[in-house]
Homo-oligomer: A and B are copies of this chain.
Amino acid sequence: MRLRVDALPRSSGDAGYQTYADTVLVVDTLRATTTAGVYLEQGADSLYLCPDLETARAFAGEGVVLAGERNCLPPEGFDFGNSPLLAREARFDNRTVVMSTTNGTLAANAACETGKHVILASLRNAHGAARKARERSSEEIAILCAGNAGRVALEDVYTAGVLCEYLLAMGDFTLDDGAQIALTVRRQFADPMEPLSRSRSAENLVNVGLEADIAVCAEVSSSTIVPVFTGRSGVALIFRAA
């Protein structure tokens, strides 16, 4: 089986775009894929990932929670931002959480264009997500890092390395160059708070007073909830706990 790490998402229109043959783990550690998992942990029935705010707002209604961010902060009229800390203090039982974030949503869309199985992964659910990917895949597991505004994100490459380590403990893989780089980065930092704090994404959170989110995103395998792609509603991608 092949293990592949893509440092950034590409869309089908981009130069050098390559399709996903099998399973894709989408990683946006600070914070979209972390927070997505927390909504499901806190009782949400499903997550709708929307590419833009207008699409998200169109789902507003009874039983729906609008959540997301632009420049780290909740968009106007939204019920929640993208904070795993605040999400963990609330309950979302039987609710649909409609999310729109910048980097994570873009990466999830790139994965769902061609991937057979798409899973949202973070440090918090790393072990569960790796196990689920291993179960479902027969040919290739790709880890797709969301990055930060088109630039490689240290925290996502680190998380990809943690996922690679779990996967290597579960079976044999041939590693692509991206996976070798991610493992090198993972082995460089014993404490996950270190790469997360040094990242540009962390700097952006500090600038808006949301630095307490970083410690929640740095928890390793504290959750067993794994959001898995189940279908679409218009342009929204639907994820449910598996």
Contacts and interface: CB of A to CB of B under 8 A. Distances in A.
A180 interface: yes
A150 B7 contact: no
Contacts of A188: 184, 187-188
Interface residues of A, number: 37
A222 interface: no
A8 B151 CA distance: 9
A148 interface: yes
Nearest to A177: B154
A199 interface: yes
Contacts of A236: none
Interface in A60-111: 106
A147 to B, nearest CB: 7
B18 A11 contact: no
A14 B227 CA distance: 28
B15 A15 contact: no
A109 to B, nearest CB: 10
Contact of A152 (B11, B181, B187): B181
Contacts of A153: 177
A42 B154 CA distance: 40
Given A151-B178, A177-B148, A177-B199, A10 B14 contact: yes
A210 B211 CA distance: 51
14 contacts: A9-B16, A10-B150, A14-B14, A14-B15, A16-B150, A16-B151, A18-B149, A151-B177, A151-B178, A177-B200, A181-B181, A181-B185, A184-B185, A184-B188
Given A8-B8, A11-B15, A176-B200, 11 more contacts: A7-B8, A15-B106, A16-B147, A16-B149, A17-B150, A18-B150, A151-B177, A153-B177, A154-B177, A177-B199, A181-B185
Top 6 closest pairs, chain A to chain B, by CB = A16-B150, A154-B177, A14-B14, A152-B178, A184-B188, A7-B7
